[in-house]
Amino acid sequence: MSRETQFIGLTDRATRLVASAVKTETYDGMTTGMFGESMPGRIFTMPDSALVPYKYKEVVQDSPWSSGPMIFTHLIPYYKDGGGHSFRGRACCSWVLDPSLQEENVECDSVTGTYYV
């Protein structure tokens, strides 16, 4: 088995959440891979609505080692208050550590959003 950076990214739930983004931008330096390579993240601008965040930023949640780092990401929502000021919410659509995956000989499952490395 070769050693390499394994970018796992978002759970399926997170991917569905940002599927309606009106704009997707990348930003440099979300994290660094095994060989010093820069791993970009994404910022998703959502349609205008008073009830939902106006954007989500993809950030690293965890990067356990399995023949190289496995990079799991989740979303940070950003909201605007009545005065138009932006504030950060709590992380969402996060991966969940699930030791039962070891019995199935699986490291991660993006559909259930679980991992065990």
Q: What is the pLDDT of residue 16?
A: 96
Domain for residue 48, yes or no?
yes
- More reliable by pLDDT, 83 or 113: 113
Alpha helix (H) ranges present in the chain? 12-17
Could you tell me the residue range of the domain that residue 65 belongs to?
A: 6-115
The reported pTM is 0.90
Q: How many residues does the chain have?
A: 117
pLDDT at res. 32: 93
- The mean pLDDT of 97-102, rounded to a whole number, is 93
Could you tell me if residue 102 is inside a domain? yes
What would the pLDDT profile of 27-63 be if each residue is shown by its tens digit?
999 999 999 999 999 999 999 876 678 999 999 999 9
What's the domain count of the chain? 1
Residue 62 placed within a domain: yes
Report whether pLDDT(25) > 60.
yes
d(CA 90, CA 107): 26
Could you please report the per-residue DSSP string of 11-40? -HHHHHHGGG-SEEEEEEEEEE-TTS-EEE
Whether 1 maps to a domain, the answer reads: no
Q: What is the mean pLDDT of the chain?
A: 92
pLDDT for 1: 56
- 83 pLDDT exceeds 90? no
**Per-residue pLDDT, 19:** 96
Whether residue 32 lies inside any domain: the answer is yes
In sequence order, the 6+-apart residues with CB closer than 8 A to the CB of 57 are 27, 41, 42, 43, 44, 75, 76, 78
Whether residue 63 contacts residue 77, with contact meaning beta carbons closer than 8 Å, is answered with no
Position 51 scores a pLDDT of 66
